[in-house]
Structure 1
């Protein structure tokens, strides 16, 4: 004989007194879950739709960030000053440039600085200082025995050399050699070398373009390959502006050079005229372009139309020419492409500008591809200057080793980035100077400011309310000691959370137990944590549930390779990250768990491995409902790991191109993220042979955490690290004891 007992307020229905158990197919208060197929893929697709909608909405949203005033140049400058400073910051144009009297001529005892002679001008190999240990390098075209009609910075596309646009090397037709044509017309022209898109295996692993290689180390430190090149342009502007010839200063570029001309003109009103060819377009698909064009928050405020408006009242020539045709493979680097927008798309973007009376827009000149063309060059020249046509060829005196010059430019940028890594320690210390450690209460009050900064400026916050749960569930697993339910929860339109709720079978009516949210790693599934098929996880979710804990294993969206990595690209365009969506998912999960009758809302913990360890640093920092956090297989000197080109464990060599978050170098390394978790308990699980980093760097970063918890706040038992002989895996020893202690759970290891 057996008795059926329906437990009021308990997650499941049991039959007591026999071996028979009758278990509900859905959780109380939830609707039946009817989704089938790959729910993780459906979740990623939903986030994708949400982000694309946010990108489209950003076009109209940008207006609220601007208060234009075109009544005078002075008032216009005042009106755009804050957005100008913000743009410079996002582009990494931060440090003051090194003053110099004039570029240095590059010559040796065996070679002259003179490399060519044209009709009325000489061409020199030159170099000029920009930042500490960083120089610009390229060609200087100087008129001979005549007045300089304009001082021009001419910028080729990234896959063109200065020699090509100056007519010294093959590759471009004469009409497209715009630097040469400007020099023939009486302009002094300087041509910086740009970092190219040439591909190479880095560290024997990821196949990256030169531009992405520089981008990676720069971006995480708040700098950018674009910003470094803008600094080189503006260093030339500094030099021209100190001159005595009163010549107007102009910037002209094609492709990537057009991009730099647009940014430079928007940032510096000493540039008196701008010409952009092969670049202006709607930017809502910037996430498809090469990742080296990724500027954090670009679409929040700055479409191309807004940048063009910033140049007012200075004349800006826009040529609707064909853009460079670029396709970059996804072979460890970010796939990307550049295509030519339709004329209608370009016209619509230009029409969005707040003022267009300073814009001179021209069509494609016949079938010419690599521009600017003659018509646009004539429009670009100052009043009174005339574009001339010269039939004589340029006389080349000597050829320059362009490959060696390219390597020097890259190495200097990399060297600069590497010096920032340790300097950033001091920046972060100064950044956190307002933290109060006189007491735990004072600390908790003062840390809230930094939590807001982390969410708003680093992770990125979607300022919208969470939807009602609309919770759905179905029973999918039943083991000897626990039952597993798949659960979905609505978060935002098109965004839902999905995971597995694991319930011990010995739950009693009215009993409240702690919950451990167990997080999988890259390309993982909730099942990896309890089905015993992946040794690295040590079946830890199932083991914890067998010990009596309620367990929730969420599906995080870092799955399906480029499908999820493009979510980061789309998010970055909006000033957001992957975690801008993941954090609300977890907030909704925690909100739902706290509403369940058998959950103790004060005892919900987080424990994640690998990418789940990255989650353990970021999510509890922003979801204070998590009462503790355990980071396994990921804790590191994170800025070093993502920016170094000196260590084998660096992400610079890896295929996770989405891993880079803007300006962690100056704000939140892992010690600072742990500071946002403090005073809640925090633990690191570290295998000595885990290739994610070297022991000394993990210890270096954790020492800062220990100092905060133990030395400053006297929280002597709340910050721990367990070192074990093993690799990238869950160890299930010290961490389980840590959970039992801080969740006040009496169970011991089996």
Structure 2
């Protein structure tokens, strides 16, 4: 048997431990499992995802409707995918009219030349900033050729590189690092934006609370909840730079080519920017292009909802055609991040060369045969990113000088930008923007819910079907319903005072089980049908925590067993949020496939409740859900999907969930701890906890809340619950919802909730 956490062996209960003895439940086979059921379930989900990843490339074809009849038709046929890509990367905010200005003040009486930072062989360098939207802006360097410009370029460094390196302003830089300077000498205007790095310098909220996770991961946690991503912000800054380059052209210069190039993380930005914006005539991607099915192993800030299901680098490349894409497989960034300080593990390394070529050939195979030459692999240096081969091909595509100019170090005439201060400014802008989105979130949710008809109860429930469908598809993620018979297996776990506990296991899909503990009360008569309460454990919990009388856990107090003492049938399922980094990495594997752990949990609960409903001692109309902590999180999500649950009780979790996940100024926020599994894609703009309760409506719903519960302050809970209650009251069912505040911590109180269960399940007090 698995180890019992926080267990105290209770003496004097007259309890018989019956593991391995006794008959199984009628209609079930003997359960013969060994080892840890929780690990078995998490491992099964992991295996299911591995199988899906193995077929995802072939499966993508059904999502695309490519028109290969002409170059124009092909480009237009990719527009639905461009819209989807914008959505899942969070490139959804309209940019403001761009103004580019010098980053340093210009002295009185001087002209713009007074702000010159450096001078190269045939170009000048300026430190510049530009606006994007709200308070977010780009910052970097502008390189202007001395001769009339022949092309415009947005050049994006790796996130651990700098604009100064690409502009050739650093000390002792090899020529290959001066790609931007050489483009400018060849006649290009070049904007080089700074990228936020993966250091921990600004992790958390500088000046409020520091965490030893990368600043890009902190931003991912805040942005993902609000339907944005760090990459999306990077792309918007690059596109705003392109806005300025195009908008600042003189008369007769509108046809000047516009290119985008980048290395490493900058290559990621360049690839996606070119796919989304058809103004770019050519893109150069260095040190990034490869198969993307192992995205879940990369740094967390690259995680994007459903990305791998819908796209690989080959598919993104196809959105650039008939424009030109150049791929350089030379130097790739490398690094390793661990979970030692509460962050997500990840790594970057040079991919296998054959895999890169395979993805490149797959990209060419996706486009019309006459256009395959528009995707080209350029010669690469093993030591220098964006080498001579890349320069020649990129310059030719831009109509600029094809021969790479010899590099002459620039003469620096001004103070180089303070990199640390610049990083902090850029980080603060994006972090603050997430808080602006949090403030606007109630308005966004109102707009999202605009088609809900609140005229009466029937109209409301009928009009929320599309919202429920969106929640299932875009928040939870859908796997097929059970594909095999449940084949229940059971064994007696204990018997005391006539109450019996059974371990029960089911099949959901081939290799994917469900498991839990069924507790049968004493004194049930033949033909009698009792109500069931499904009692759900929290984070790192097990069914024994709630259903085994030998276990005393200060959070659960054996409440499934206590309810059985009151005459209820109870069932305690094993959910998959157990194993620390192990289950969180399984979730990371799921999210790029458009799935979550909930995708599997709801299917397990469907099988469990269907089986319960078929038992002769169960009233199928009276199956309730009651969960604590992560089990309370379950209470807000599972009943939205599983209609068999006739009511739901959320204990020790209900609160203003968007603040909880995205706030930068609250010690309660998940931004500051190790639970990077908490953000859910775009939830801030679609469903807070009140909205989720409206999807449970018209079924009864209750909140159990201890004043000393550290999950959130009472004020957050009451604020959000007021919206739940108002909707129930306005629809004439105010008697179906309530909240109990009690003087206590993060725990099952079992007073008002037990009364709520007895009342709504028509169960007399015992």
Band the TM-score falls in, shorter-chain normalisation: over 0.9
Q: Once the two structures are superposed, what CA deviation does each residue of 1:408-462 show, in whole Å capped at 9, x if it has no partner?
A: 0011111111011121101111211222233222222112221111101111111
Residue pairs, 1:91-490, within 5 angstroms: 91-107=89-105, 109=107, 113-144=115-146, 146-170=147-171, 173-200=174-201, 202=204, 206-242=211-247, 243-244=249-250, 245=253, 246-330=255-339, 331-353=341-363, 354-355=366-367, 356-365=372-381, 367-368=382-383, 370-381=384-395, 382-383=398-399, 385-397=401-413, 398-490=415-507
C-alpha deviation, 1:180, in angstroms: 1.9
Secondary structure of 2:555's aligned partner? helix
Give the one of 715, 720, 723 matched to 2:733: 715
Cα distance in 1 for residues equivalent to 2:752 and 2:51: 45
Residue 10 of structure 2 corresponds to none
Q: Give the CA deviation at 1:171.
A: 7.8
Distance 1:184 1:21 in 2: 82
* Corresponding residue SS for 2:139: strand
In structure 2, the residue matched to 1:64 is 62
RMSD (CA atoms): 1.9
Summarize the alignment of residues 651-670 of structure 1 with structure 2, pairs less than 5 Å apart: 651-670=670-689
- Write the distance in 1 (CA, Å) between the matches of 2:534 and 2:465: 24
TM-superposition CA deviations, 1:629-668 (whole Å, max 9, x none): 0101110111111111011100000101111110001111
Q: Give the whole-Å Cα distance in 1 for the aligned partners of 2:577 and 2:98.
A: 48
> Which residue, out of 43, 46, 56, partners 1:45?
43
1:466 touches 1:584 (CA, 8 Å); kept in 2? no
Cα distance in 1 between the residues matched to 2:16 and 2:327: 78
Worse-matched range after superposition: 252-261 or 170-179: 170-179
| Distance in 2 (alpha carbons) for counterparts of 1:338 and 1:49 | 23
Task: Tell me if structure 2 keeps the 8 A contact 1:206–1:655.
Answer: no
Whole-angstrom distance in 1 between the partners of 2:226 and 2:270: 24
Instruction: Kindly indicate whether the alpha-carbon contact (under 8 Å) linking 1:461 and 1:576 is maintained by their aligned counterparts in 2.
Output: yes
Match of 1:553 in 2: 572
1:25 and 2:42 correspond: no
SS in 1 for 2:326: strand
Asked if 1 retains the 8 angstrom alpha-carbon contact of 2:486 and 2:506, the reply is: yes
Q: Matches of 1:437 and 1:270 in 2, distance apart?
A: 45
What is residue 524 of structure 1 aligned with on the other side? 541
Separation in structure 2 between the aligned mates of residue 441 and residue 249 of structure 1, nearest angstrom? 56
CA–CA distance in structure 1, aligned partners of residues 106 and 425 of structure 2: 17
Larger displacement relative to structure 2 (236-245 or 130-139): 236-245
Q: Which residue of 2 aligns with 1:10?
A: none
Distance in structure 2 (CA, Å) of the matches to 1:394 and 1:638? 52
Q: Bigger CA drift: 531-540 or 184-193?
A: 531-540
Q: Match for residue 11 of structure 1?
A: none
SS at structure 1 position matched to 2:212: strand
Q: Is the 8 A contact 1:205 1:332 kept in 2?
A: no
Cα gap change, 1:36 to 1:313, in 2 (>3 Å): same
1:331-382 Cα deviation digits (max 9, x unpaired): 21111111111111011111222023211103432x31x4111111110112
1:498 & 1:204 partners in 2: Cα distance?
A: 40
Q: Structure 1 205/469 Cα, relative in aligned 2: closer, same or farther at 3 Å?
A: farther
Q: Counterpart of 1:658 in 2: which secondary structure?
A: coil
User: Which residue of structure 2 lines up, in the alignment, with residue 12 of structure 1?
Assistant: none
> Taking structure 1 as the reference length, what is the TM-score of the superposition?
0.94
1:104 Cα offset (Å):
4.0
Give the TM-score normalised by structure 2: 0.92
Cα distance, 1:87 vs structure 2: 0.7
Offset at 1:101? 4.7
Q: Residues of 2 paired with 1:170 and 1:216: CA distance?
A: 36
Deviation string, structure 1 residues 577-609 (Cα, Å, up to 9, x no partner): 111111111111111111111111001011111
Residues 202-251 of structure 1: CA deviation (Å, up to 9, x unaligned): 36574211111111111101011111111111111112222233421100
1:25 CA displacement: 2.2
Q: What residue in structure 1 maps to residue 610 of structure 2?
A: 591
What stretches of structure 1 of length at least 5 have no aligned partner? Answer: 1-18
The answer to whether structure 1 residue 732 and structure 2 residue 750 are counterparts is: yes
Q: CA deviation at 1:117?
A: 1.2
Q: Which moved more, 1:512-521 or 1:477-486?
A: 477-486
What is the distance in 1 between the residues matched to 2:142 and 2:245? Answer: 12
Aligned ranges for residues 560-575 of structure 1 at < 5 Å? 560-575=579-594
State the Cα distance separating 1:272 from its structure 2 match.
Answer: 0.7
> Equivalents in 1 of 2:135, 2:244: separation in Å?
18
How many residue pairs were aligned?
726
Q: Is the 8 A contact 2:102 2:115 kept in 1?
A: no
Is contact 2:188-2:400 (8 Å) kept?
no
1:512 alignment counterpart:
529
What 5-or-longer segments of structure 2 have no aligned partner?
Answer: 1-14
Question: Post-superposition shift, 1:114?
Answer: 2.0
User: Take 2:603 and 2:118, find their aligned partners in 1: how far apart are those partners?
Assistant: 61
Deviations 1:531-575 (A, max 9, x none): 443111122111111111111001101011111001211111111
